Amino acid sequence: MSPYYKDKDQFLVALDCVIFGFYEGELHLLLLQRNFEPDRGKWSVMGGFLQKGESADDAAKRVLYELTGLQDVYMEQVGLFGAVDRDPGERVLSVAYYALIKIEDYDRDLVKKHNAFWINIHQLPPLIFDHEEMVRKAREKMRIKAACEPIGFNLLPELFTLGQLQRLYEVLFDGPLDKRNFRKKVAEMDFIEKTGEIDKSCSKRGAALYRFNDKAYLKDPRFKL
Amino acid sequence: MSPYYKDKDQFLVALDCVIFGFYEGELHLLLLQRNFEPDRGKWSVMGGFLQKGESADDAAKRVLYELTGLQDVYMEQVGLFGAVDRDPGERVLSVAYYALIKIEDYDRDLVKKHNAFWINIHQLPPLIFDHEEMVRKAREKMRIKAACEPIGFNLLPELFTLGQLQRLYEVLFDGPLDKRNFRKKVAEMDFIEKTGEIDKSCSKRGAALYRFNDKAYLKDPRFKL
DNA sequence: TCAAAAGTGTTAAGTTTACACCCATGA
DNA sequence: TCATGGGTGTAAACTTAACACTTTTGA
């Protein structure tokens, strides 16, 4: 180490990943029931340690991959959690991220192996350390982003109905939306494309399936629900 | 160290502080021209290293205090900057913060001692490492916050004119505001109080001085410019 | 006397909200 | 046949944007 830095303290740095999924009209988090110490049996978000030679963003992707087998996932940093006693065992800094995943895609075996479960966001158990604050901040940050950028589509399948889309935004913004007003706005966004296909699973009548066209969005990025 | 953590890598952690100030109708940053290695002579934001036994937030306050002599300053975390090669000398993680200070309050001697200068935000020199990205993200985060919470007052003196306030928000939002519309909105916010005092320094005619009443704001926090 | 910033209301345009009924189908 | 979610338009309320002249006073 260069002399300039050599008398400075060094720290363990963890990555913690708040993983959002959407199914059955509800927002869920992928949480681990720890089968290892410390705090065996308690609930936490998925974490791991930063390693020499990897960036924080890469480490967060690795941690997500280890649990879900997914790559190229929408992730954002929530921030650094740096309270001295946040981990009672040892001084550990943690960088929290959130991820939005399509819930049909993840690797069931990996998740089972980690003893992880999808928990409805309205029925969260107590979490270890400062993980509840991480979840709160992740949700808030995601909500703000979702209000002005079309990130919600990362939580939906490739093809989705307007009913699903509306329900997603009702859950994200935590309040009912008017169906006609909602559809009026969607119709104005050219990057939300009707595919011609019909979904028969959600309703008896069947509903038109739509797709988010990210190239069209980049050409004309006007999003506001 | 407990056995569970002992084989994990450890990291140097820096704090970097993007310090905003407002005077002469312009937004400025307090930047250091480094008179020490590495990168002597180059420009950077104020930084320091995290120490054992202090939280990241406390360390950021310390770093700000060391440069300005100010305490109880509005600060927000921008995020962790964790690229592997961000500091070419050594692997150093950095947690960036931004601070909003009343520019008439800081300690001139400390600033001089650190070889720091107020630089107009539109005339920034190249900065070392990833400090330009820190500044960009800090500005963006501050802008978003300033749009829905009354944090701008941290950049103004206790007493200010409506002209100063409007100019501040024009600078923050980077565009002209209509004077009559602006004043109409300010008049609706009961926590922006006319003091009865008159400022004669900004104009020949004199302008009414206002004050931000934070207790009144907490009672009825409706802010939107 | 004039330059410079302070102060003051109204109208048009645009956006948001509220609201109710028919449709197609599987059970 | 009925319960379920899909699909559709209009009018009122509200918000935002545009706009010009008078006042005061120090230089």
Helix boundaries (H) for chain B = 56-68, 108-113, 131-148, 162-173, 179-188, 214-219
Q: Nearest nucleotide by C1' from A198 CA? A: D6
The per-residue pLDDT for B144 is: 96
Q: In what order do the strands lie in the sheet with B192-199?
A: B159-161, B207-212, B192-199
The per-residue pLDDT for B110 is: 98
Note whether B83 contacts A: Cβ–Cβ < 8 A. yes
Look up tokens 């909602």; give the residue.
Answer: A182
Note whether B3 contacts A: Cβ–Cβ < 8 A. no
Say what the pTM is.
Answer: 0.96
The whole-angstrom separation of Cα A35 and Cα A29 is: 18
Q: Which of A1, A7, A11, A97 to mutate to test the interface with B (most CBs of B within 10 A)?
A: A11
- The closest of A205, A210, A157 to A186, measured between CA atoms, is A210
Q: Which of residues 121-180 of A touch B (CB under 8 A)?
A: 144
pLDDT grade for A2, boundaries at 50, 70 and 90: confident
Q: Quick: pLDDT tens for B29-81.
A: 999 999 877 788 999 999 999 999 999 999 999 999 999 999 999 999 999 99
Partner-chain contact A53 B84, CB within 8 Å:
yes
In degrees rounded to 5, what are phi and psi of residue A59?
Answer: -65, -40
Q: Which residues pair with B11 in a beta bridge?
A: A11
| Cα distances (angstroms) measured from residue A114 to each of A33, A41, A56, B212 | 8, 12, 22, 52
- The predicted model gives A202-209 an average pLDDT of 96
Q: Quick: pLDDT tens for A138-177.
A: 999 999 999 999 999 999 999 999 999 999 999 999 999 9
Q: Quick: pLDDT tens for A60-118.
A: 999 999 999 999 999 999 999 999 999 999 999 999 999 999 999 999 999 999 999 99
Work out the number of other CB atoms within 10 angstroms of the CB of residue B124. Answer: 15
Which of left, alpha, beta for B122 (phi over 0: left; psi -120 to 50: alpha)? alpha
Q: Which of B4, B9, B77, B86 to mutate to test the interface with A (most CBs of A within 10 A)?
A: B9
- Minimum-distance CB partner of A93 among B13, B37, B79: B13
Per residue of chain B (225 residues), give pLDDT as tens: 677 788 999 999 999 999 999 999 999 999 999 987 778 899 999 999 999 999 999 999 999 999 999 999 999 999 999 999 999 999 999 999 999 999 999 999 999 999 999 999 999 999 999 999 999 999 999 999 999 999 999 999 999 999 999 999 999 999 999 999 999 999 999 999 999 999 999 999 999 999 999 999 999 999 998
The per-residue pLDDT for B123 is: 97
- The closest of A47, A50, A61, A56 to A135, measured between CA atoms, is A47
CA distance B52 to chain A (A): 6
CA distance B161 to chain A (A): 32
Domains of chain A (ranges; CATH) run 3-146 (3.90.79.10), 156-219 (1.10.10.10)
The per-residue pLDDT for A3 is: 78
Partner-chain contact B79 A80, CB within 8 Å:
yes
The per-residue pLDDT for B6 is: 86
Strand C reaches within 7 A of the B183 CB: yes
Whether the bond between B38 and the residue before it is cis, its omega within 30 degrees of 0, is yes
Q: Which chain A residues are closer than 8 Å to B4 by Cβ?
A: 37-38, 89-90
Q: What share of chain B in percent tops pLDDT 70? A: 100
Q: Which residues pair with A97 in a beta bridge?
A: A17, A77
What residues contact residue A199 under an 8 Å CB cut-off, 6+ apart?
Answer: A159, A161, A206, A207, A208, A209
Partner-chain contact B55 A80, CB within 8 Å:
no
Q: Nearest nucleotide by C1' from B206 CA? A: C6
Maximum separation of any 2 CA atoms in chain B, in Å: 72
| Cα distances (angstroms) measured from residue A225 to each of A180, A222, B8, B14 | 12, 10, 45, 39
The whole-angstrom separation of Cα A172 and Cα A96 is: 20
What residues contact residue A170 under an 8 Å CB cut-off, 6+ apart?
Answer: A176, A177
Task: Write down how long chain A is.
Answer: 225
